[in-house]
Amino acid sequence: MARKLQDSCAYPPRMMNADRAAAYLDLSKTKFLEGVQSGSWPAPRDADGVPRWHRLDLDAASDATDSKEKRLASGRKSLADMLEAEGAAGGAQ
């Protein structure tokens, strides 16, 4: 089992390799790279031929996950919709 990257940095570096970027996001390297492949996380920048993730790109992508609405499968209702319908049905009696 791969161990999580731990180091003594008092602050996150501006540019990170895949191990450090995954650790910054509290993800395994595998899950992080899967997210990069699927577009959930930003692609790396080219730093003299070496792939590096910019901290601000990771921050922006992380912030965007907070604002994304979860999409429901077709025909499914959200909890808010079900509670609203239940309240309307209860008030009609």
Residue 19: which domain range? Answer: 12-68
Q: Is residue 37 assigned to a domain?
A: yes
Q: Which tens digit of pLDDT belongs to each residue from 5-54? A: 666 667 778 999 999 999 999 999 999 999 999 999 999 999 999 999 99
Its pTM stands at 0.62
Residue 52 covered by a domain: yes
Question: Cα–Cα–Cα angle for 41, 42, 47, nearest 5°?
Answer: 140
Give 41: exposed, middle or buried? Use CB within 10 Å, 0-12, 13-18, 19+: buried
Is residue 80 in some structural domain? no
Q: Name the CA radius of gyration of the chain, rounded.
A: 20
- Evaluate whether residue 21 is within a structural domain: yes
Number of domains the chain is built from? 1
For residue 74, being part of any structural domain is answered with no
**51-72 pLDDT tens trace:** 999 999 999 999 887 655 455 4
